[in-house]
Amino acid sequence: MKTELSALPFVECERRSNVGRTTFIEEHFLPGRPVIIEGDAHGWRERWTPELLKQRFGDRMIEANTGEFIAVHRKYVPMKLSDVIDNITSGSREYRLRSLEFLDIIPELRHELERDGYFREYFSAPFLMHNLWLAPPGGTSGFHHDFGFENLNFQVCGSKTFYLAHPSNYSNLDPFEFSASPVHPLAPDLERHPRAANVQFVKATLRPGDMMYVPRFWWHFVVAEEVSLNINTFAVQASTARIWASTTGLPIRHRIPLAFTALTQRRRSLDRARMETFNWVAKYGRQLRLPNFMGKRA
Ligand SMILES: O=C(O)CCC(=O)C(=O)O
């Protein structure tokens, strides 16, 4: 029995404009609450349409992904950027781009992005990674979470919808390989995954210039509404120094309590990550013949 998502509950994601750094940190980053931040004009964005990228850099070689639903089933195929763009804009769902290397292959674009630096208002951790996503209409990214990464996903052109679920839904989503779920939020198979019916999804549709904040460990399934190009920035708040750095630019009377709260939050998410790892090993350890974990037989 397949049930359309319209039969399952979801709420619209909060949408805000003019969110300054302090508000972002206090009301979203620390409590781990997703938000769409409506964008201002970003000049570079106009030059990043698939057509213009093809004209400017079409002969560069890049690895495209095949379009399977589950990310770990996808293969990488080396192709010319112009061929990937032609394939995607033709409406075929054969390929998509999910590229960590994109900005190394086209450093000109890295300069444009870093000159604009929209992400620095929110993430000033020294360790940032940018990914590029190009998807055909209806192209999906299966349900997953990004481990401990904080994520800002910027819609460059086209439109995409995120279906998000709070980290506490871990067991409702029947995860495998720790961070992936077979649940399709738009057509959940409730016979196989009955607990998916308990999930309260948060729906967020991004338009050009919008930025989605996906907090650490939040699950997300993403579907392109039309040909869609995004850049996402991952930040790893991996050490006290980085947490402190993430509050740079705020008055000291804000920084000290915020850094303290961030530390406690970080502890909590590390505890949660440990617990999730433990559950994962308990579930799959025997099949994978993992050694005894924490003194118990898996
Ligand atoms: O845009 C997408 O298709 C997926 C984005 C995503 O998974 C992410 O930003 O982590």
Domain spans of the chain, in order of start:
5-285
For strands 35-37 and 15-16, give the pairing.
parallel
Which ligand 1 atom sits nearest the alpha carbon of residue 220? 7
Minimum mean pLDDT among 43-57, 72-86, 245-259, 265-279: which range?
265-279
pLDDT at 145: 85
Q: What are 89-138's pLDDT values in tens digits?
A: 998 989 999 877 788 899 999 888 888 888 888 887 666 888 899 999 99
Does the CB atom of residue 173 touch ligand 1 within 6 A? no
Task: Determine the topology of domain 5-285 in CATH.
Answer: Jelly Rolls (2.60.120)
Does the CB atom of residue 151 touch ligand 1 within 6 A? yes
- The angle, 0 to 180 degrees and rounded to 10, between the axes of the packed helices 107-116 and 50-57 is 130
Does the CB atom of residue 155 touch ligand 1 within 6 A? no
26 neighbors 35 (Cβ within 8 angstroms): no
pLDDT at 291: 41
